[in-house]
Amino acid sequence: MSTESLPEEEVSDAALASAWRAGDERAAAELVARHAAAAGRYLYSAGAGVSEVEDLVQEAFFRAFRRLDTWRGDASFRGWLLTIAGNLLRDQYRRRKGRTVLSLEDRDLPDQRDPEANLLASETESRVRDGLTRLPRLQREVFLMRVQQGSDYEEIARVLGTTPGAARVHYHHAVKRLKELVA
């Protein structure tokens, strides 16, 4: 299936996936362009180091494209990709025998126009990020999908293989635990 006939913004992820299966490498490149940043932010927020993000994003897409047949389209491509990214981090954690290190350089860089206020904001973000790595995986993934992707509970449930009600409980669990870090 060719993607040339439609303007880029009208081609769905499902259509791009079909085109990739048919051998269209531009379709694969378009999927990467659409979702790489979201995957990177998700990985970083879940504890990946800044210097690791690009490699992990590449690995996530590699795994995704190898088994694209398993994506049935009932959940969004991005949600499915983020699940793969979450598995990647789990594998990395196991290889490191349980050590998750957040180095000083891993902070988001503050805006230099107001150094003091932004240093405080940066420190708060570091605490939240550290808190995220300490959450149970399901709570962390539900929270990030909700606040970073704006996913509703139905979508989160489809992606993570749970129910919307359970996803809602997990979200509020995560919020309750993390709220103390910013209060």
Partner 1 sequence: MSELHLSERMPEVAAGKFGWTEAERRHLETCPDCRAEWTLVTIGRDMGRSAVRDLDAGRISAGVLARLAAEPAGPRWGRLPRTIWWVGGLAAAAAALVLLVGTPAAPDRNPDTVAGFVIPVMELDSLDADQLEMVLETMETPITDASVIDVPTLHELDDQQLERVLRSLEG
Shortest Å, Cβ 163 to partner 1: 5
Shortest Å, Cβ 86 to partner 1: 9
Residue 96 found at the interface with partner 1 (CB under 8 A): no
How distant, in Å, are the alpha carbons of 125, 128, 162 from that of 107?
8, 11, 32
DSSP state of 111: P
- Look up residue 141 and give its two tokens: 């993934």
Residue 172 found at the interface with partner 1 (CB under 8 A): yes
Among 6, 29, 119, 120, binds partner 1 (CB under 8 A): 29
Under rule CB under 8 A, which residues in 121-140 are in contact with partner 1? 124-125, 128-129, 132-140
Contact 87, 105 (CB under 8 A): no
Under rule CB under 8 A, which residues in 9-28 are in contact with partner 1? 25, 28
E strand or H helix at 156: helix 153-160
Among 14, 22, 33, 120, binds partner 1 (CB under 8 A): 33
Shortest Å, Cβ 34 to partner 1: 9
Measure the N-to-C terminal CA separation of the chain; round to a whole number of Å: 52
Residue 115 found at the interface with partner 1 (CB under 8 A): no
CA-angle at 175, arms to 173 and 181, nearest 5°: 120
Query: HSE of 136 in the Cβ direction (CA atoms, 13 Å)?
Result: 10
Position 33: which residue type? A
Residue 84 found at the interface with partner 1 (CB under 8 A): no
3-class DSSP state for residue 165?
A: helix
Contact 148, 41 (CB under 8 A): yes
Under rule CB under 8 A, which residues in 54-73 are in contact with partner 1? 54, 57-58, 61-62, 65-67
Q: Which residues bind partner 1 (CB under 8 A)?
A: 25, 28-29, 32-33, 36-37, 40-45, 47, 50, 53-54, 57-58, 61-62, 65-67, 90, 93-94, 98, 100, 106, 108-109, 124-125, 128-129, 132-140, 143-144, 146-148, 150, 161-163, 165-166, 168-170, 172-173, 175-176, 178-179, 181-183
